[in-house]
Amino acid sequence: MKDFQLIVNFKTYENATGTNALELAKIHQKVAEETGVGIAIAVQAVDLRHIAQEVGIPVLAQHFDFVKDGVHTGHVTAQALKESGAYGTLLNHAERKIELDDIEESVDLARQLGLFTIVCADTPYTGKAVAALNPHMVAVEPPELIGGDVSVCSANPQILMDAVAMIENAKVVIGAGIKSKEDVAHAIKHGASAVLVASGVIRSMHPEETLKELAQGVIEGQKGAVEHTL
């Protein structure tokens, strides 16, 4: 499994769709190569195949439906994503929530197919519950801060502390409103394995420069974490 510290969700922004998505994905790969920071991207299902064929960084789906082959018109299956070159998937994002039972079945199916799973949770307590289902990562994101201008690290840093303390069965990802190098460094220094960002990069006028800043935050956070343990 590849190691990554930045996860960028392309969502359905126009400048992260189709040809634009591919160009943006190439920028992410370039920054990953130049900085040495692991970067993964989550793209729309219709863009996944052509992006996965063109870049070497992990390409995630934003969701899949827990159905197998057969009579399920309009659904996106895990099998189809795997065949399209998906490295893994987000599940239960605040904008695409699913029931706990469906999370468990989806995580099990993804593991059978060799797909990496990042399950989103709205609180550390929910994160602890979904961690028991054995995803690879649990992303804690307070919904009220997603897409906003105030990051979880500034608004309520205790959420990060609680998530790191409570979630033992999976690596912790922190997200919601994270847009600055300082936010990223704080999250990594205090125990998060990765950060999940979206609009801070996708809506940036200069996404490459923004990504480089966030990658520098990872580097500084990792250095701070080492110094903290000495």
What are φ and ψ of residue 44, in 5° steps? -65, 150
Give me the chain's average pLDDT, please: 91
**What is residue 1's predicted lDDT score, i.e. its pLDDT?**
63
Question: Within the chain, where are the H helices?
Answer: 19-35, 45-52, 78-83, 100-113, 124-131, 152-155, 157-166, 181-189, 199-202, 207-229
* Catalytic site residue from 28, 63, 93, 190: 93
**What is residue 224's predicted lDDT score, i.e. its pLDDT?**
78
pLDDT at 228 over 70: no
What are φ and ψ of residue 96, in 5° steps? -155, 60
* Catalytic site residue from 28, 63, 136, 141: 141
Structure confidence at residue 226 as a pLDDT band (50, 70, 90): low
Question: Within 36-120, where are the H helices?
Answer: 45-52, 78-83, 100-113
Of 97-101, 195-199, 200-204, 223-227, which gets the smallest average pLDDT? 223-227
pLDDT at 38 over 60: yes
pLDDT at 130 over 60: yes
Q: What is the pLDDT of residues 76-113, one digit of tens each?
A: 999 999 999 999 999 999 999 999 889 999 999 999 99
Catalytic: 141? yes
pTM here? Answer: 0.93
Catalytic: 93? yes
Mean pLDDT of 120-131: 93
More confident residue, 117 or 69: 117
pLDDT at 230 over 70: no
Q: Which residues are CB-contacts of 2 (< 8 A; sequence separation ≥ 6)?
A: 38, 40, 58, 87
Q: What is the pLDDT of residues 44-57, one digit of tens each?
A: 999 999 999 999 99
